[in-house]
Amino acid sequence: MSSHEGSLTPLPFTGLRVVHAANFQLNKDGAVFFNCDQKIHHGLIQNGCYAYPFSINDRARMLTWTGRKKLGQGHANKALIETCVNVQADLLLLGHAQHVTRDTLLEIRRQLPNVRIALWYVDALWVPRFTRHIVERRDVFDGVFATTGGEMLEELAGDGCPAAFIPNPVEPSIERSRAFENSNPEYDLVFWGSDRHAPERTRFLQSVIDALPELKFGAFGCLGRPGVFGKEKEDLIPKCRMGLNLNRRNDAKMYSSDRIAQLTGNGLLTITVGGCGLEELYTTDELVFFSDVANLVEQLEDLLKQPERVTEIARNGWKKAHEEFSTVKVAQFILDLTMRNDRWKEASWSKHVYGLES
């Protein structure tokens, strides 16, 4: 039995107080308002929680006169303890939180014996040094949630700590566009994402361009072109018909960056690599799957001749994203599983949960 398993009796959700300790990036002055930290926070509130935001890195900067995050990490950990006690948190939900120490979590548990602690993680799980903090603290957690499934996720489960897949959340106040309603887009296909240190991505994109010279292709953040962020990105999205979802790896079960939520949630026909498990979330009437460059080029040629079909798939994908993978449903799943409320089983992705005792 884990040291905290005795506290895992179902708790009521009404009036649930949550300290959400993540990286809200306040130092960016709203330029990255679309990040997952903000989305999940909105989802907590929409589930009826009192959600108190604790911006880990910003707090570290604020608590040292140099403004350097690294120097302020110890102070930020002390502030997190005090915050949880002051709020009388029922749940401490961590977002990534590499710099929140094990001792901090144990002290929070000591002062708040009934508190639940969970962590969500939306970056890649295949780099051990990035996930070491999860493994080292999992016996203190009541749940770990990640946008990767399969064996990589299962390895994060521990005694009393289930590891569960979550889809990248879509928030209607952030993903506001319906690109499929634009009958005369500026771009047939768009991709935003870096190709820095990713020569295979550069070659892939260039191969598509070379094979389809008539394709109106918008590349941002790659192929030597600047990236787009914030309002500039928001203004670009409705000018596009289709969006390409390329990940750094295509063999990670269920994985996608949050690009997929931004594309589907804004009504672009979304094209992604097949075979990694996303077919369990989306049908071929909601997403287009490809196997390699040649297959992608072939499908693009067909789609360019069928604008009505493009609109249909894009609308279907947009509907699925907003109905099934909303911030409300993702946050609800995190809350339910962490609090051991059986309602978590109603989520369409609920079979991807590991290490939960029956």
Domains of the chain in start order, with CATH, are 5-169+326-354 (3.40.50.2300), 179-324 (3.40.50.2000)
pLDDT score for 4: 54
DSSP character for 186?
S
The helices-and-strands tally (H runs, E runs) of the chain is: 12, 12
Three-class secondary structure assignment of 36-70: HHHHHHHHHHHCCCEEEEEEHHHHHHHCCCCCCCH
Q: Which two tokens stand for residue 188?
A: 């047939």
Q: How many other CB atoms are found less than 10 A from the CB of residue 73?
A: 20
From first to last of its 358 residues, the chain has per-residue pLDDT tens of 344 544 455 555 557 999 999 998 878 787 777 789 999 999 999 999 999 999 999 998 999 888 788 888 999 999 999 999 999 999 999 999 999 999 999 999 999 999 999 999 999 899 889 999 999 999 999 999 999 999 999 999 999 999 999 999 999 999 999 999 999 999 999 999 999 888 999 999 999 999 999 999 999 999 999 999 888 999 999 999 999 999 888 889 999 999 999 999 999 999 999 999 999 999 999 999 999 999 999 999 999 999 999 999 999 999 999 999 999 999 999 999 999 999 999 999 999 999 987 5
Q: Where do we find the tokens 């509130």?
A: 45
User: Would the pTM count as exceeding 0.85?
Assistant: yes
pLDDT score for 10: 58
Q: Where are the beta strands (DSSP E) in the chain?
A: 17-22, 50-55, 91-95, 116-121, 143-146, 163-165, 187-192, 217-220, 240-245, 269-273, 288-290, 353-354
> Which residue type does 281 have?
L
Q: At what angle do helices 327-338 and 36-46 cross, to 10 degrees?
A: 70
Kindly list the distances between the CA atom of residue 19 and the CA atoms of 41, 95, 137, 214, in Å, as whole numbers in the listed order. 10, 11, 18, 51
Q: What angle do CA 334, 55, 129 make, to 5 degrees?
A: 70
